[in-house]
Structure 1
């Protein structure tokens, strides 16, 4: 439309970038919550230590989950076909994530209600599930995006999904789930090292180093699998980048190694996997040297690199179809209208800085280490 100062193709790319930023933001901000939850039974050996671990994330986890809501909202408003296919086809996987996430607030609130060891251990394991399960399943979801989902879209743009939950658990998808788990456990361990002292911090450094090395090895294995064994997707016809959203206006082929094609066409993209490897290796070194803040920042860089690697490999695809490649959703044929993207961009430019400023304020107020003594002085502690 003439009155919109940004053309349709540019807006589509901007919203692709914004979706990536929101997903990376969620992985960084809520990722250490998930990592801390997954580490809880291993880094804390008694009730006092467990309370310390829980209270490192207790004041901030709710705010961190806002990034997940923002990501889901962005998919709903900017990429309606993607929302329709993914939220229906991956329904059981998403329910599993939500049920696990629900265990977190319940565990936080109920754990301290009864002075009983068995009671508290039950909720400690619920908090573990609330961290472990989403960390794995989110990675499995990314793996299935790279594999392609079994969906089709008819002439009236109505999607139909032809898979089941257990098809999501292919070997490659499980490998991606393990990459995600190691990556977020490293991030959680770096946070614990920064926010705790004594035995808890020492154990978090140990597990964090193992997880960082696991991230490097598994990420490399996944990259080799993508390059030499996994079929990727390529658009072989011309797409109208400013045309209406209709998946039937293109031709798509599949070929082993196609997902690394973007790196040959745009060599600068190699920065993404390099950041994934270097961030993880730096986290390993810095955790060994007890450089807690830098280790946390480097684990965040690793998350940025790993997720960016997947996104750049896929571009311009958002969600390929494994049973009907022509139905695959791309940046150019699965977006909302020009006007909708523009109005949403204006709203985002207004609200996102507010969210960032509020988040920064909260973290400034909640700064400092968590100790058993500080919990004794805080009547609001978990």
Structure 2
């Protein structure tokens, strides 16, 4: 049961980095990909159908960590408190920017002329800043996990380099996703950076690297030693095995339904 729990944790964590990394990375590049309000709406529309479903993988990872690896969870959440708080705050800020962008401050709701444009600029800033802080926070957290010390935050030059490197990988993954999803001028801007590489090839390569991040971090952690007792695992692991195919099927259906390139803005 311990082995199954470890495999499931790695599966959910890798799934989160691959799937959510795409929308986070695209959000990081929003000012570059979208130069006008309509273009930015088009960029947001490229990941709008996915971002909430992608976040479910992080919730599943956190829930599995709490239930199946309580000792490690305690060390991680206590020792990395200063890293997790900015990550969670940025996550909320980013999602608020996405949800509220087209719902508050529009002239039709009685705001002053131009208020809608100003509000959308604020929300776009929330999406961009939130995406960057999330990616940088993951980089700093992974820097600590790679050392096998989940209870000690990474500091110094190594933490800075790791945070910047992981953020760059998030951005590259988002660029690959944008090349698969966008049309028009935003798409042409992605091709300036991806070059002659086929869009799906670039996205698949960065996806493999994103999946490797949590898996490599997990190799440095004492997962087996911190696993819950056999009775707890015997209760939780079978339940997770039943839920996992449903999660995968739902995710696959969403990506298949919205597989085509976007050519007009969404409600966001």
Q: Note whether the superposition's TM-score is higher than 0.5.
A: yes
Please say if residues 34 and 186 of structure 2, whose CA atoms lie closer than 8 Å, have aligned partners that are also in contact. yes
How many Å separate the matches in 2 of 1:307 and 1:358?
Answer: 23
The offset of 1:56, in angstroms, is 1.0
Residue 110 (structure 2) pairs with residue 203 (structure 1)? no
How many Å separate the matches in 2 of 1:288 and 1:84?
Answer: 45
**1:178 match:** 164
Please say if residues 13 and 331 of structure 1, whose CA atoms lie closer than 8 Å, have aligned partners that are also in contact. no
From 60, 70, 73, the counterpart of 1:80 = 70
Residue 10 (structure 2) pairs with residue 24 (structure 1)? no
**1:193 match:** 179
**1:139 match:** 139
**1:33 match:** 23
Matches within 5 A, 1:143-182: 143-149=143-149, 151=151, 168-182=154-168
Change (3 A) 1:189 1:109: same
**1:298 match:** 205
Please say if residues 146 and 216 of structure 2, whose CA atoms lie closer than 8 Å, have aligned partners that are also in contact. no
Superimposed CA distance per residue, residues 104-138 of structure 1 (whole angstroms, 9 cap, x where no aligned partner): 22112222233433322111110001211111111
How many Å separate the matches in 1 of 2:232 and 2:55?
Answer: 25
Please say if residues 20 and 311 of structure 1, whose CA atoms lie closer than 8 Å, have aligned partners that are also in contact. yes
* Structure 2: tracts of 5 or more residues without a match: 107-115
Aligned length: 258
CA RMSD of aligned residues (A): 1.9
How many Å separate the matches in 2 of 1:150 and 1:361?
Answer: 35
Residue 45 (structure 2) pairs with residue 47 (structure 1)? no
Judging by fraction of residues, say which structure has more strand.
1
How many Å separate the matches in 1 of 2:12 and 2:135?
Answer: 16
Change (3 A) 1:97 1:191: same
From 105, 110, 124, the counterpart of 1:114 = 105
**2:111 match:** none
Please say if residues 21 and 210 of structure 2, whose CA atoms lie closer than 8 Å, have aligned partners that are also in contact. no
Change (3 A) 1:25 1:108: same
**1:324 match:** none
The offset of 1:365, in angstroms, is 1.7
Superimposed CA distance per residue, residues 148-179 of structure 1 (whole angstroms, 9 cap, x where no aligned partner): 5485xxxxxxxxxxx6xxx6442112211122
* Structure 1: tracts of 5 or more residues without a match: 1-10, 152-162, 210-286, 319-329
**1:127 match:** 127
TM-score when scaled to structure 1?
0.64
Residue 254 (structure 2) pairs with residue 362 (structure 1)? yes
The offset of 1:290, in angstroms, is 4.8
How many Å separate the matches in 1 of 2:259 and 2:28?
Answer: 22
Change (3 A) 1:78 1:352: same
Matches within 5 A, 1:206-221: 206=192, 209=193
Please say if residues 195 and 369 of structure 1, whose CA atoms lie closer than 8 Å, have aligned partners that are also in contact. yes
Higher relative contact order (CA 8 A, sep 6+): 2
How many Å separate the matches in 1 of 2:67 and 2:29?
Answer: 35
From 213, 222, 228, the counterpart of 1:336 = 228
